[in-house]
Chains A and B, each alone.
Chain A
């Protein structure tokens, strides 16, 4: 026995176990359960039928009672494993239930009714994925619309953000002009003005511009991100000015210099900003909640919130749509994790 224990605990380099190693592993495993567990549970639950979701205690996998088509009955009947009085086990379908007795029948010979006490029967369960949880909200409810609105807001806002922010960053990093420091200071100062403290006046500005209840009212206030300008400017400062001088010698216009030289060279920073912008806009909640009053214009986050806030929560749809609304972010993360983590670690933005 002790041989096995030594084998299992043997470590690279022959170092012995320290109690902090144990603590670290406990922390990691607990973290794995606590961080991943809820999301896995969401995923599993989203494939359960409404009936399976209301079961308590819940099952891990999306099980459902097997249904069998039997001759002479229009509807499929539930299949049960029945312990007969003589100790034999048979597979029977339940025709109807009266009190504590179930009327059951052999699927092969449905004419003969067999009476069985409820306690003697166990439903036959099979794994069934309730994919209708995913399709119905798109067909019967507005989710296709919400999805489209979210995509529109995310894509348009990100493109405008990238263009506006990179133009401003270009001016602030490559030109000497009066008031440059002042502009920079203003931008830096507004880093500390979060949306949540200006929602009231911003709401009236949006109304004054007739942008209330419009997707543009969601998009425009978000596009001039000070973080983006700052991030891009810091990167553009590292692009040597000699490149610009050489282009000017060749009579390139300033716009061409920005568009053909500086922007392509700043692509790594632009990419980081693009990823962040997509995530910000896809996940935005408070501002779309304020601006959009028409159901037709809801983004996915707002639509999901109003759907889960209804009196009779249809959890089977809510869970599936929650998965849908987190999928793009998960995909982005899976492919671009390195960009995101290095972007955060080096700039402290989020």
Chain B
């Protein structure tokens, strides 16, 4: 935390103290029971009490559902609560995986699942590649010596803070039939295109949108990595008269690589879960052209007339396996980065 941020907080103190008066009163009230716990059970009891609220919420809304998910994936029927559901063994998994030809979604019993898998796979590969390259280029540009760097950084960063609904609506308005993009095409002498009705273009814009919305985040991580590279390395290279591209390929990129690994894995993890922006933009359409895994799970389990909780759970378990593998790799990579930084 910088000195400025500390001062910023102290400056807002007066106003905040007025707002927080009821909170302060409540906190003083808690002192009595907490002191009792301290006398009765000692510091261990105090620690447990401090942990309790968070862990209780955590247990009910995260840990318990996690285990419940596994149980659901082995049951069938339409009942909502587990005690009314029928145990069906691995039937749901068999349904999901029943394919005559794994390369052809139409040959699968649950063809929507496989279309979602195919779309998500395609999206992940293309989006992550493009996203990482665009973020890298932006970070390299922003790392140059320039005036008003803060402004330029904000330009690329601010969409990160916008809600997925806002992002989707901004672009939906531009891409609609009478939108800005078609007006520009017409001006340049091209035919207008129905962007979100064409399967290929819908996927293109889904990828474009998610890059537009998130590139600032990854740029920031890469920029932090670039700025951590010691300046004297560059000065030494300049003394030796090394050409710029060699400085880039021999100094900048190798030293940035640990950050790149983290960025690639984070981008992978988030790309597998793509949902909000695309759902608002295309609703998964046209047809199933932009149907992704999370939307499949949401629709199968919760949004359809006849909820199929078992099938949706099985699908989400399969997705979770992929995510857990990716996250484990990411944790290893972060540990590796930290070790490298310490050296």
Contact = CB atoms under 8 A, between A and B. Distances in A.
Interface size class of B (residues with CB under 8 A): 35 or more
Interface string B165-184: 11001111110001110110
Interface string B214-249: 000100110110000000000000000000100000
Main secondary structure of the interface of A (DSSP, over half): helix
B61 A31 contact: no
Given A20-B244, A286-B276, A204 B141 contact: no
Contacts of B332: none
B319 interface: yes
A119 B58 CA distance: 70
B338 to A, nearest CB: 12
Contact of B66 (A34, A196, A198): A198
Contacts, number: 282
Contacts of B223: 345
A18 B155 contact: no
Interface stretch (A66-74, A78-86, A101-109, A252-260): A252-260
A201 B155 contact: no
Interface of A: 18, 20, 24, 27-28, 31-32, 34-36, 38-39, 41-42, 45, 54, 56-58, 159, 163-165, 167-168, 170-172, 175, 177-178, 183, 186-187, 190-194, 196-205, 207-209, 220-221, 223-224, 226, 229, 253-256, 258-259, 267-269, 271, 279, 282-283, 285-286, 290, 301, 304-305, 308-309, 315, 318-319, 322, 325-326, 329-330, 332-333, 337-342, 344-346, 348, 350
Interface of B: 1-2, 4-6, 8-9, 23, 27, 30-31, 34-35, 38, 43-44, 46-48, 50-51, 53-55, 57-58, 60-66, 68-69, 71-72, 80-82, 137-138, 141, 144, 146, 150, 152-166, 169-174, 178-180, 182-183, 186-187, 212, 217, 220-221, 223-224, 244, 262, 266, 269, 273, 275-276, 280, 283, 294, 297-298, 301-302, 309, 312-313, 316-317, 319-320, 323-324, 327-328, 331, 334
19 contacts: A24-B146, A31-B156, A32-B155, A57-B183, A58-B178, A171-B51, A177-B43, A178-B44, A201-B313, A221-B61, A268-B5, A271-B5, A285-B164, A286-B275, A305-B280, A319-B173, A326-B166, A338-B5, A350-B160
